Amino acid sequence: ASAGSIRLEGRELTGLPAHEVPKAGVAYVPQGRRLFAEMTVAENIEIGLMARNKGKVTRENVLDLFPLLRQRLRQRSGTLSGG
């Protein structure tokens, strides 16, 4: 696209430096599932939370949204089913 804007909850994100975008709550997630396949589910969640600097509370929110992951925190992500 050559024009447009990005807004999240009323906040203009267009033009933000790349390192500020995750702090606003936006992340790029590639379609491929093997990005951190050798790491555990817990480690993948922790990496996703690093930019937010919210730690345990946000981690619990993620696990509330995806309750089956709680049972698989020590499992390598690359062994999870995609379906």
Q: Whole-model pTM? A: 0.56
Structure tokens, 71 = 């049972």
The CA distances from residue 14 to 3, 4, 5, 38, in Å, are 10, 8, 5, 34
pLDDT one-digit tens code per residue, 10-66:
999 998 998 888 888 888 766 665 568 889 999 988 887 876 677 777 888 889 998
Q: Report pLDDT for 74.
A: 96
Query: In this model, does residue 7 exceed pLDDT 70?
Result: yes
The helix-helix angle for 41-50 and 55-65 (nearest 10°) equals 130
CB 51 within 8 A of CB 22: yes
- Distance separating alpha carbons of residues 70 and 42, to the nearest angstrom: 9
Provide the residue type at 82 as one letter: G
**Residue of 24 and 73 predicted with greater confidence:** 73
